[in-house]
Each structure stands twice: as structure tokens, then as C-alpha cells.
């Protein structure tokens, strides 16, 4: 009888410990889920700044090489690959808003999303062209890319950039680092 009682007590004690462990675990999991839900990690720069430092810059590599008459060198295709990846990722990035005064309003618009996707998709085509080293695919990608920039600018871009940051002349000396002797 005593043995039975002891076993029963041990069983209850074990169950209580398991329950406490499970309760503690569920508190930890709930806290983690809450932290993930509360995640507030806004884009710390403006759309205008991204346009000038990243989007315009990477797009120019694609256009300028697409327009190049000469045979392209291995590392030039590699440069296109590199900048196409940046540009493809910049598409979703600008749908997250930013610090510019209109950025968060723009990013709520379905049209904004559409143009951002067009830009990103065109960049993926440029990436594919670079991997295949196919000039005419690169030119098609460049045309599609231009349509996405112009479409969005026609719809959203104020005549004067909201923060006054324009491509010219701020970062211009950083352009065309790839420039070859006697070309472009
Ligand atoms: C989804 C919309 C959208 C797309 C796509 C887009 N832009 Fe923009 N861009 C804007 C907006 C809006 C501004 C103005 C931002 C401001 O004033 O705060 C801007 C500003 C700029 C600027 C700085 C202003 C200036 O006049 O110099 C440059 C450069 C630029 N974009 C280049 C490009 C290029 C190149 C592409 C395509 C590869 C592109 N943009 C694609 C919306 C877009």
C-alpha cells in the first residue's frame, strides 16, 4: 500500500514539474511571438536618397553597357550581374516606405507596388542577360527598366525632389567607375 502511495506521489510530483516546465515554455514562446509581431524596423533613409545612391546608379550600369558597341569584357558582365542584384532588391525595399515626407504614403499605393515590381523584374532580366552574356537580352531588360522608372516618375515624382537630392551633381564623380579608355 505504502509503495503504491509513494509511486502515486512521485507521479503527481513529476506531473506538476512537467506542467510548470510547459507553462514556462509557453510564456517564453508567447514573448518571442509578441516580439516578432511588434517588430518595428523602419527603413532609416528616404526613397529620394535610395533613388540617387542605389537605383539610378545601378540602372546606369545596365543602360550604359547595353548601349556599348564593343564586345563586353568578362568583368563587365560581372559588373552588370552585381548591379542587377542591387536593383532587383531595391524594388521591394522602396515598398517599405522611408524617411521622406511622402515615402510612407507612396508605399501604400498599389500603383507604387506595381512600378516597384516592374523595376525589380526588369533587373532580374538584366541579371539573367548578364549570366548568359546576351547583349540583346540586356537591351530588352534595359528598355523595360526605363519604362518602370518613367512610369513611376510620371505618376509620383514631384518636379523638385522632396528633399532636393538629385542625381546631378552630388554623386556624379562616383558614376561610371567602370569607364573604359576612349569609350562612352
Ligand atoms: C515606384 C516608383 C519609382 C520607381 C520604380 C523609380 N522611381 Fe525614381 N523616384 C521616384 C520618386 C517618387 C522620386 C522623388 C522622391 C522625392 O522627391 O522624395 C524619385 C526620384 C528619383 C531620382 C532623384 C531625383 C532627380 O530628379 O534626380 C532619381 C535620379 C531617380 N528617381 C531615378 C530612377 C531610376 C533610374 C529608376 C529606374 C531604374 C527609378 N528612379 C525608378 C519614384 C520611382
pLDDT score of 173 more than 50: yes
The set of residues, in sequence order, having a beta carbon less than 8 Å from that of 142 and lying 6+ positions away, is 62, 63, 66, 67, 122, 126
CA contacts within 13 A on the Cβ side of 151: 15
CA 40 – CA 23 distance, rounded (Å)? 28
CA 25 to centroid of ligand 1, rounded, Å: 48
Residue closest to 94 by CA, chosen among 146, 148, 143? 148
For residue 37, how many other CB atoms are within 10 A of its CB? Answer: 7
CA 34 to centroid of ligand 1, rounded, Å: 36
CA 125 to centroid of ligand 1, rounded, Å: 20
Give, for ligand 1, the residue of 66, 107, 146, 149 to mutate: max count of ligand atoms closer than 8 Å to Cβ: 149
Measured torsion, CA atoms of residues 32, 35, 37, 41, in degrees rounded to the nearest 10: -140
Indicate if ligand 1 lies below 6 Å from the C-beta of 114: no
Indicate if ligand 1 lies below 6 Å from the C-beta of 59: yes
CA 149 to centroid of ligand 1, rounded, Å: 7
pLDDT at 6: 86
Q: What is the mean pLDDT of the chain?
A: 87
Of residues 110 and 24, the one with the higher pLDDT is 110
CB-based contact 64:35 (threshold 8 Å): no
pLDDT score of 170 more than 70: no
pLDDT at 184: 43
CB-based contact 126:84 (threshold 8 Å): yes
Q: Which of 12-16, 46-50, 94-98, 108-112 has the lowest mean pLDDT?
A: 12-16
Residue closest to 87 by CA, chosen among 105, 109, 60? 60
Per-residue pLDDT of 44-67, as tens digits, reads 999 999 998 899 989 999 999 999
- For 24, 32, 47, 104, the CA distances from 13, given in Å and listed in that order, are 17, 29, 60, 56
Here the cell at position 60 is 546606369
How wide is the angle at C-alpha 124 spanned by C-alphas 166 and 95, nearest 5°?
A: 50
Of residues 159 and 47, the one with the higher pLDDT is 47
Point out the ligand 1 atom lying closest to the alpha carbon of residue 158. 17
Amino acid at each position: 500500500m505504502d509503495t503504491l502511495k509513494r509511486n502515486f506521489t512521485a507521479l503527481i510530483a513529476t506531473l506538476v514539474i512537467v506542467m510548470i516546465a510547459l507553462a514556462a515554455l509557453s510564456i517564453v514562446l508567447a514573448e518571442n511571438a509578441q516580439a516578432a509581431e511588434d517588430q518595428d524596423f523602419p527603413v532609416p533613409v528616404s526613397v529620394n536618397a535610395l533613388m540617387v545612391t542605389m537605383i539610378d546608379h545601378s540602372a546606369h550600369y545596365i543602360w550604359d553597357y547595353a548601349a556599348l558597341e564593343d564586345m563586353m569584357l568578362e568583368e563587365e558582365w560581372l559588373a552588370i550581374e552585381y548591379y542587377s542584384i542591387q536593383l532587383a532588391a531595391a524594388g521591394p525595399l522602396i515598398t517599405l516606405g522611408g524617411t521622406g515626407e511622402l515615402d510612407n504614403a507612396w508605399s501604400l499605393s498599389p500603383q507604387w507596388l506595381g512600378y516597384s515590381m516592374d523595376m525589380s523584374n526588369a533587373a532580374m532580366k538584366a541579371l539573367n542577360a548578364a549570366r548568359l552574356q546576351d547583349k540583346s537580352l540586356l537591351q530588352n531588360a534595359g528598355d523595360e527598366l526605363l519604362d518602370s522608372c518613367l512610369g513611376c516618375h510620371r505618376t509620383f515624382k514631384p518636379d523638385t525632389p522632396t528633399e532636393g537630392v538629385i542625381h546631378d551633381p552630388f554623386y556624379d564623380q562616383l558614376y561610371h567607375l567602370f569607364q573604359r579608355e576612349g569609350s562612352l
